[in-house]
Each structure stands twice: as C-alpha cells, then as structure tokens.
Amino acid sequence: MKILITGGAGFVGARLARTLLAGGTLAGRRIERLVLADLAAPPPDLHDDARVAARVEPLAATCEALRGEPFDGVFHLASAVSGECEADFDLGLRSNLDGTRALLDALRHRVQQGAAPARLVFSSSIAVFGPDPALPLPEVVGDDTIPAPQTSYGTQKLVCEHLVADYTRKGYVDGRAARLMTVTVRPGRPNGAASSFFSGMIREPLAGEEAVCPVSPDVRHPVSSPQRTVEGLIAVYEASREAFVGRSALNLPALNVSVQQMLDALEAVAGPRVRARVRFERDERIAGIVANWPRAASARRAAGLGLQPEARFEDIIRQYIADHAGTPALKGLEA
C-alpha cells in the first residue's frame, strides 16, 4: 500500500506519518511506502525510515508526478494558514484552492487512465463556520450547521469541501472531508495562523518564556489535541462509505473551552509561576478574526465512528509535556 501525505513535514503531517508507520497498516492493509510532500524536508526520524520517501517541492510539482505514479490513499493536509490568507489573498488562492484542485485533477487523471479511485482525506477547518445576517451562528455548530465563512481561509476550505464531494460523486476519488478543530498544543515557534496564540499561551510559559494572549479571557473556542486530531484523520480514512454517511464534511471532535479555562488548566498542571508568564494584550486584528469563529462545536457523525474529544484541557497539556519530556520546550517547569 502506498500513501501520500501532503504537508507531510508539518506538525500534524509528521505526527500522522509516525502514527501510521508505528501501526504498520491502514484500513487493514500493510503500508509499504509513505510519501511525504512538503516545501520542507521531513524530520530526521521520518527521513531515515526506509518506508518513507520525501518530496521537497511545491504541491504543483507533486501533483504533476501523481499523474504517472499510483497511490492507494492520500491525506491532503498542505495549506496556507488563516492569518496568511487574510494578509495575502493570492497566496491563499494558490495554496489552498488551486493546490487542491490540481491534486484532485491528478487523481482524476489516474482514474481516466483505468486506475481505481484513490481514497482521499481532506483536512478542512472549523473556520468554514461564521456569523452572517441571514444565517446567525448557533451557540454550538454541528455537522448540519450551514457554513458561512467570514475569512478567506474558511472560504477556501469550504470550496474545497464541495470539490472533494463532487469529485467523489463523479467517481474520480473516494473523498472524505474532515473539519479540524484548532489543534493545541503545537510545538515550535508561532506560525501565521490567527489561532496560533491558543498554543503559544501554553507552550511559551512551559518553556520559561512570556506569552501574550490577544483576546479576552471569556473567549470560547473548540480545540483538540494533536493525538485526537491524528486519530480522527485515520478513522475518517478507514471508515466505510456507508459509515462516513454521505459526501458532506464532518466535524472532528472538539473540547469546547474558554481562554480562562485553558489558563486555569495551565496553573493546575504547571503551577502559578508558569501561569503568571501569560499576560493579556488585545490585538484588534486577531480579536476581530476570532470574534467570527464558532464558540463551540459538536461532532455527531464522528462519534458514530467511535471518536470522542478529551474530557479536560489538563489532559491536552499533559500530552504536550509527555511528548517533550527532557527537552528545552519544558525548561520553564524547572525554573
């Protein structure tokens, strides 16, 4: 079995790759080759695995190669992030909309040449939901809530959801779109996502650094741990067509929390000294984007696949600590 992960060198992509390699199988079949396509090289542990091949190139080049190279399955994670797409409209269109269209067309070409449709999991986003005067945003967005995105990123993700559904209807792919919640805690440095602070306000204090929260403590948002996110992507891939139910996107499970609850959890796990490294400093640009995001989400269809969110945000923090034990990422715990 040969699997492609676009965005395979990124945080979620690399974690997905490690999970697949550790299990050795996907949907009951042995994984013989895992191709990680990204603009950056994969981490050394993945690069050194004999089952892994890296494609360090733009997505367009990977899509062109796909026309002559068969894959059984694809996880499409490559994407420009929310803040980048608001700042650079053309970047968002190229990376998210045009890149996904090129990938789908490459897979369609394979079918038109007589190959079986590849199974495709597209990573959509909770950002497809937003408030609109004609469609007020409910307190909890569900699988059946009508999306009304209020950002370019969310709009691009929603368009791609419909493309995946239509290419599936036509038999060009066996596609499934899964809406990811905001994934926290992400390691490394802040990225261009407007949601980056949801990780930074936990990650930086644990590393002994100050963190700035750009929104008020009563802001609520659906989040998920890296582990539950990867489990969700794999479960969506392995689900039968009937179990997935239809072709429309589903929400992955969410832990619905407030910023204050996240900080309370940080103090409960790491102590008041670590919590004190977070200060509030409002950023109107970030706050304006976040104000148009859902405050909570449900995931009925994902629950039908056996997926559940974490019970407490403390568990998400402890997962991050376990993942980075003995590294500089936790030096703030020793101070």
Catalytic site includes residue 320: no
**Planar angle of CA 49, 186, 82, nearest 5 degrees:** 110
Structure tokens belonging to residue 181: 């919640």
Say whether 316 sits in a helix, a strand or coil: helix
**Per annotation, catalytic residue among 153, 167, 172, 237:** 153
Tokens 């036509």 belong to residue: 170
DSSP state, 328? G
Backbone angles phi, psi at 263, to 5 degrees: -70, -35
Structure tokens belonging to residue 41: 């090289």
Provide the residue type at 306 as one letter: G
Q: C-alpha 167: how far from its chain's center?
A: 22
Nearest to 98 by CA among 58, 56, 147: 58
Query: What is the rounded (10 degree) CA torsion for 216, 188, 224, 21?
Result: 180
Backbone angles phi, psi at 59, to 5 degrees: -60, -30
DSSP state, 8? T
The residues that are catalytic are: 153
